[in-house]
Amino acid sequence: MPRATPRQKKSPKRYDRAYFERWYRRGATRVHVGASVARKVRLAVHAAEHLIERPIRGVLDVGCGEGAWFPHLLRLRPGIRYAGVDSSAYVVRRFGRSRNLRLSTFGELDRVGLEGRYDLVVCSDVLHYVPAPEIAPGLEALAARLGGVAFIEVFTAADSITGDRRGLHRRAPEWYARAFRRAGLVHCGLCCFVRADFAPGLTAFERGWR
């Protein structure tokens, strides 16, 4: 009887230089386009400033990758305080000093030494790659640093997704809605959220009234 061939274990996903070259810069597979990022930045900045009623002063970018939001933010708000957090040792080595990036997984966000609150907290195209046990502690730490608006872009099992599917978690929209509520985050339109203690200042329709 032939011996069964053992399954080969997949190598762990690496967010190294080759990964960012493939998804951020190569024409055939590129999904991270500068014009799209610029539109998201403008949306997030103006939504935050509309709700806090002044120009934003500080941005925390969780799962920032190479810090692609940083140059767009600087063009909009020169001198802004920016901090990025990512699990890629490569991007922290390459851009850590010039873009103020720190190394951390999403679940250990509360251990990275961040101080104070940020007018805008960004978590764009990240959560659907994060293992389930890390979601709750990461969202709690994110909410603790939030002083205005969080721009949280997440794709669910109900969405059509192109691009990087490796390590993608296809969770139901309701799964994320429960996680956000437990973290004290209130949806206020598009990909924007505020803390529950900020929400009373919103109108019913801004809070997603049904």
Domain ranges of the chain: 33-201
Considering only 30-34, 72-76, 105-109, 170-174, which range has the smallest mean pLDDT? 30-34
Write the DSSP string, the chain: -PPPPPPPPPPPP--SHHHHIIIII-TTT----HHHHHHHHHHHHHHHHHHHTS---EEEEET-TTTTHHHHHHHHSTT-EEEEEES-HHHHHHHHHHHTEEE--GGGGGGS---S-EEEEEEES-GGGS-HHHHHHHHHHHHHTEEEEEEEE---TTS---S--TT-----HHHHHHHHHHTTEEE-STTEEEETTTGGGS-TTTTT--
Considering only 5-9, 25-29, 89-93, 126-130, which range has the smallest mean pLDDT? 5-9
pLDDT band at residue 164 under the 50/70/90 scheme: confident
Mean pLDDT of all residues belonging to the chain: 90
pLDDT at 136 over 90: yes
CATH number of 33-201: 3.40.50.150
Question: What would the pLDDT profile of 50-65 be if each residue is shown by its tens digit?
Answer: 999 999 999 999 999 9
For residue 1, the model assigns a pLDDT of 45
Q: What is each CA distance from 54 to 44, 48, 51, 93, 198, in whole angstroms?
A: 14, 9, 8, 34, 15
Statement: the pTM of the whole predicted model exceeds 0.85 = yes
Rounded CA gap, 95 and 102, in Å?
9
pLDDT band at residue 21 under the 50/70/90 scheme: confident
5 or 142: whose pLDDT is higher?
142
Average pLDDT over residues 78-89: 97
For residue 112, the model assigns a pLDDT of 96
Q: Which residues contact 111 (CB under 8 A, 6 or more apart)?
A: 104
